[in-house]
Amino acid sequence: MNLLESCLLLVLVRGFCFAKTSIRVAHYGEDVSTSINWNVLYENIGKDFDLLPPETRIINKRDFLSTTRMLYDSMSQDGKLVAVLGTASVIASSNLESVCSHLCLPYVTVKKRSKNLHSSTFSLYPDSGLLSKAQATIIKSFDWDGFILLYEEDDGLLNLQEVLKLQNYNKDKPKNNILIKQLDPGWDNREVLKSLKNSTIRRIILDCNVERISEILMQAEEVDILSDFSTSIFLTSLDAHTIDFTFLNTLSNITTIRLFNPNEPSFQYRVLAYYPDITPNQIKLETALLHDAMLLIAMLINTVNGDIINQKNYCNSTKKFDQSLELAHKIRISIHDGLTGSQIDLHSGRRNRFNLEIIEVNKPHKPIATWNSKFPDTINLKRNATEREAELQRRLSSHNFIVTSRIGGPYLYQSKEPDAIGNARYYGYSMDLLKEIAILMNISYEFRITEGNLYPNLASDLVERRADLAICDFTITPQRQEIIDFSMPFMNLGIGILHKVSDEIEVDNLYGFLKPLSWAVWFYIWTLNLIISLVMFFVARLAPGEWKSPKPWDPNVKELENIWDIKNFLWLTLGSITTQGCDILPKAPSTRIISAFWWFFSLIISSSYIANMAAFLTMSKNVETIDNVEELGKQSKVKYGLVEGASTAAFFSTSNNSLYQKMWNNMKNEKPSVFEKDNANGVERVLSTKNSLYAFFMESTGIEYELERKCNLRKIGNLLDSKSYGIGMPMNADYRDSINAAVLTLQENGRLGELKEKWWKLERHGNPCPPVVQPSDALSLGNVGGVFIVLVVGIAFAYCLAALQFLWNVRRVSVEEKIPYAETLKAELRFACNIFLKKKAVKSNKSEKSSPN
Ligand code: GLU
């Protein structure tokens, strides 16, 4: 007896012994490729049933009529069909399901369902409403401000309704950006991905068939989206865990969800038993669901279909719904030891009890969190804070941070070493600050200078992901905060006004009173004064009108007298030029003519001097009296400017203050432009503009730095606002918290202060300035001090002359009276010091008595 004959005999014997009910299960699908292991059904079906070989029918999505006929034929063939297993899509199976419902035939499907189910349909695929809720909860837990939803089919978008509602979720944030884009049906999605690159959002939800995921990610890598540390991708496919992602070279965070854990021993055991050709982590969701569908069908047949079969109420039944099946639909039915859960509950035919695991694709062994349908609004984190930090640290350490910056002291200088490479090409405050942060965060970095060394390009570098950090005098502004993130501030400042100390008073000049006339003019005036005196002396000796009688009342006087000697003329010319006049005046016409011309000359010179002096003082006053921004705004003589396209310009252009608006309009319309490319150019312009006619709006930190080095600069008035510098980062960068923690540490341990001291004061590249003397409006000692000095010198000179005359007189008396010189000196000194003696005896006065002859 061969094997076949023995099997037949066994079946016959069994058939006689136990009257088994023959039953059949049909599989309706759109293709034959579905791998179903019917053994699961055979092994779980009750002993009372004899399962006939299952039939597989391929249905056409568009041909409802033939699908219906196929089912009726199958039913009427032998009346043994007890359940239908459906793997067709919703559209293709809708007709089938309604017929099954009409015939009270259980229809078990493994496809995603969104609509209401027929009364005899049982779906093992997680309920789409709940699944959408789960995805929304998970995305909410990621704390994303915005995301891009890349979807493949409209159906997928419908299933993500809850996720789309997240737009209204975060009420305290100005806006939660959600960008929705459909994937190209073709294989090339590079264009779509490139368009994402230009957006500030780097959180992507990819909703597509598992077969397309690898190809799309590869294209994302090609267009440089995945090179970005801050990019996060969430894959909605429940099969994404079956992909081997090692082909991707990325630091981006890719997460997905799965319905079962392929690493669980019980799962692996069942897979080994029923699907030995597939490794557990390659088991697709559909395979697992089909496995569980077998269990469900077996359970339905064992418990419910017995009744149906006994009642024989198939096509010809007048009853619409079988009581038992209806009941099964209403109560919660559970299957045990499925591949997609140890206990699978179905209520109203839906699978609305299930768990999800959230995994990072590069670490699939350990889920980062789980979601449970019992608490749909929460997720349970599976990694504690330390583990999460360790994971982030691992990612940070393996990334070389690109730091965008700009050259500008004291933040960053270009090294003078011609052979310097890498970061050694630069040094300065920013470099030191990042060095400290890098030590704290254990990261490596590379400085790059932004294009054109321009401030606006720093933000673009971050938005377009050319850099991970931006560090320099990078001001935190509301406009920038819309497109990038900032660390907590590392320096506080405000807008100030930089101006040059007036040229006229820039040096504290004691001889300022000489300034109205040039040195040549002074020389000519005094030389002329001497020459005129000499000329007049000779003219006066010749002029008869200048010879007068010493005793006009005495007609017998023998001699005439001429009062004009050189001394008197010098006195006269000096009295004229200083507009003081003189006690003696010339009498002769010739000397009077010369005097008249000299007076005219003196008039012109002294008026010019006074006018020039007044002009000098007025000009100093004009510039010096700009003491605040209001005064600067009111006048038009001194122009003012700022760095073009940077935060100070943004402050003025967006200000509601009428003064600042007016100043901004003035600045915009000024020709030539008052804007500068950077602070260094602004400072240079302030210094080089004559008569201090240019002021520059600059941040106080920069002003502080310049005042330390350029002594003829000053700061005008108070600060216009108050803001800070921060380290720029792409929006929602994963390392934001780590950078903040590092900045905080540096602030707390005083390192920030030390660095500022180092680069502002110690590393000065020059000599310190003396303390700035604030000039005042009044004529200061600085201006008139020289006059005092002249007076003191004059007094000293006169005193010396008097002393010499005194000594000469002592000598004359000692010779005439024949008394020793020392004794005479003692007696004369005693007499001079005795201030109460008013009379002096005439000792000898030959000289006084002698005639001019
Ligand atoms: N620190 C400014 C910025 O970040 C540039 C200088 C300025 O605007 O005064 O834009």
pLDDT confidence band for 741 (50 / 70 / 90): very high
Average pLDDT over residues 9-28: 64
Give the span between the Cα atoms of 491 and 747, in whole angstroms: 10
According to DSSP, residue 450 is labeled: P
Residue 59: which pLDDT band, with cuts at 50, 70 and 90?
Answer: confident
Structure tokens at 465: 């992901």
Nearest atom, ligand 1, residue 699 CA: 9
Pocket test for ligand 1, best of 648, 651, 676 (most atoms within 8 A of CB): 648
Taking only the tens place, the pLDDT of each residue in 38-52 is: 999 999 988 888 888
Peptide bond into 555 cis (omega under 30): no
> What percent of the chain is modeled with pLDDT above 90?
40
DSSP string, 673-730: ---BSSHHHHHHHHHHSGGG-EEEEEEHHHHHHHHHH-TTEEEESS-S--EEE--EEE
User: What pLDDT sits at residue 767?
Assistant: 64
Report which listed range, 18-27, 355-364, 504-513, 618-627, is most confident. Answer: 355-364
| The token pair that represents 337 in the structure block | 């030891």
- 156-160, 203-207, 247-251, 808-812 — most confident range: 203-207
Distances (CA, A) of 794 to 125, 228, 567, 573, 801: 113, 82, 16, 18, 10
Mean per-residue pLDDT, 369-373: 94
Query: How far is 387 from 453, CA to CA, in rounded Å?
Result: 40
Q: At 399, which amino acid appears?
A: H
Q: How far apart are CA 777 and CA 619, in angstroms?
A: 11
pLDDT value of residue 802: 65
pLDDT value for 362: 86
pLDDT digits (tens, 9 = 90+) for 228-284: 777 899 999 999 999 999 888 887 889 999 999 999 999 999 999 999 999 999 999
Q: Residue 442 and residue 396: Cα distance in Å, rounded? A: 8
Whether the CB-CB separation of 221 and 250 falls below 8 Å is answered with yes
pLDDT score, position 509: 64
pLDDT (0 to 100) of residue 806? 76
10-19, 630-639, 796-805: least confident range = 10-19
CA of 643 to the centre of ligand 1 (A): 7
Q: Report d(CA 678, CA 644) in Å as an integer.
A: 8
CB 108 within 8 A of CB 117: no
**Range scoring the smallest mean pLDDT among 163-177, 227-241, 287-301:** 163-177
Separation CA 251–CA 255 (nearest Å): 12
Please tell me the residue having the least CA distance from ligand 1 atom 7: 648
Q: Which of 678, 810, 620 is nearest to 408 (CA)?
A: 678
Identify the residue with better confidence: 545 or 185.
Answer: 185
Q: Strands 232-235 and 203-207, how do they pair?
A: parallel
How far is it, in rounded angstroms, from Cα 536 to Cα 835? 41
For a mutational test of ligand 1's pocket, the pick from 450, 457, 475, i.e. the residue with the most ligand atoms closer than 8 A to its C-beta, is 475
Give the model's pLDDT for residue 779: 42
In this predicted structure, what is the pLDDT of residue 318?
A: 39
Q: Are β-strands 253-258 and 355-360 bridged in parallel, bridged antiparallel, or unpaired? A: antiparallel
* Ligand 1 pocket residues where CB is under 6 Å: 455, 473-475, 642-643, 646-648, 698-699
From 110, 713, 730, 655, select the one nearest 404 (Cα to Cα). Answer: 730
pLDDT of amino acid 850: 36
Give the ligand 1 atom nearest the CA of 495: 9
Q: Which helix (H) or strand (E) holds 753?
A: helix 751-757
pLDDT at 240 (0 to 100): 95
pLDDT at 27 over 80: yes
Residues 114, 332 contacting (CB under 8 angstroms): no
Average pLDDT over residues 155-184: 75
- The tokens for 156 are 């997928």
What's the Cα-to-Cα distance from 768 to each of 687, 706, 711, 805, 819, rounded to whole Å?
Answer: 18, 11, 8, 52, 66
Rounded to the nearest angstrom, the distance between the alpha carbon of 489 and the centre of ligand 1 is 15
Query: Look-up: residue for tokens 């409403």?
Result: 129
Question: Ligand 1 centre and the CA of 741: distance in Å?
Answer: 25
- Banded model confidence at residue 390, pLDDT cuts 50, 70, 90: confident
**Residue at 73: amino acid letter:** D
Look-up of token digits 């905060």: 481
* Ligand 1 atom closest to Cα of residue 697: 9
Cα pseudo-dihedral 836, 841, 846, 852, rounded to 10: 50
pLDDT bucket at 808, cuts 50 / 70 / 90: confident
Atom of ligand 1 nearest to the CA of 646: 10
Which ligand 1 atom lies nearest to the CA of residue 473? 1
Query: For 48-65, what is the mean pLDDT?
Result: 84
CA distances from 786 to 508, 509, 513, 775 (A): 12, 9, 7, 18
Mean pLDDT over 370-389 rounds to: 89
Q: Where do the DSSP E strands lie in 410-522?
A: 413-414, 426-427, 444-449, 469-470, 484-486, 491-493, 495-500
Q: Do 251 and 395 meet the contact criterion of CB atoms below 8 Å apart?
A: yes
Q: What's the count of helices (H) and strands (E) in the chain, helices before strands?
A: 30, 31
- HSE-CB at 744 with a 13 A cutoff on CA atoms is 8
Helix (H) or strand (E) holding 370: strand 369-372
Tell me how far the alpha carbon of residue 476 lies from the centroid of ligand 1, in angstroms.
Answer: 9
In 11-90, the DSSP E strands lie at 21-29, 49-51, 55-58, 81-86
Contact status, residue 257 vs residue 141, Cβ threshold 8 Å? no
CA of 456 to the centre of ligand 1 (A): 9
- Which tens digit of pLDDT belongs to each residue from 583-623? 888 887 778 888 888 888 888 888 888 887 877 766 655 55
pLDDT of residue 239: 95
| Strand runs labelled E in 112-201 | 121-123, 147-151, 178-182
pLDDT at 392: 86
pLDDT at 173: 54
Q: How high is the pLDDT of residue 620?
A: 54
Residue predicted with more confidence, 549 or 233: 233
Whether 656 shows a pLDDT value over 60: the answer reads yes
Task: Between 776 and 804, name the one with better pLDDT.
Answer: 804
Confidence of residue 319 (pLDDT cuts 50, 70, 90): very low
Answer whether residue 171 shows pLDDT above 70. no
Give the pLDDT confidence score for residue 650 in this predicted structure: 95
Helix (H) or strand (E) holding 747, with range, is helix 736-748
| pLDDT of residue 32 exceeding 50 | yes
Q: Has residue 745 got a pLDDT over 80?
A: yes
Cα–Cα distances in angstroms (integers) from residue 213 to residues 189, 234, 273, 469, 735, in the given order: 11, 11, 30, 30, 27
Q: Tell me the per-residue pLDDT of 424-471, one tens digit each, with 9 for 90 and over.
A: 999 999 999 999 999 999 999 999 999 999 999 999 999 888 899 999
Q: How far from each other are the two terminal CA atoms of the chain, in whole angstroms? A: 184
- Between 84 and 60, name the one with better pLDDT: 84
Mean pLDDT computed over 216-233? 87
Q: What pLDDT does 154 receive? A: 84
The predicted pLDDT at position 212 comes to 94
Query: Taking all residues of the chain, what is their mean pLDDT, rounded to a whole number?
Result: 83
- Please tell me the least confidently modeled range out of 91-105, 372-386, 683-697, 788-802: 788-802
Nearest-angstrom CA–CA distance, 682 and 678: 6
Match 């006169």 to its residue by tokens. Answer: 798
At 320, the pLDDT band (50, 70, 90 cuts) reads: very low
* pLDDT tens figures, 103-155: 778 899 998 876 677 878 889 999 988 999 999 999 988 888 788 999 998 87
More confident site: 270 or 762: 270
pLDDT reported for residue 782 = 55
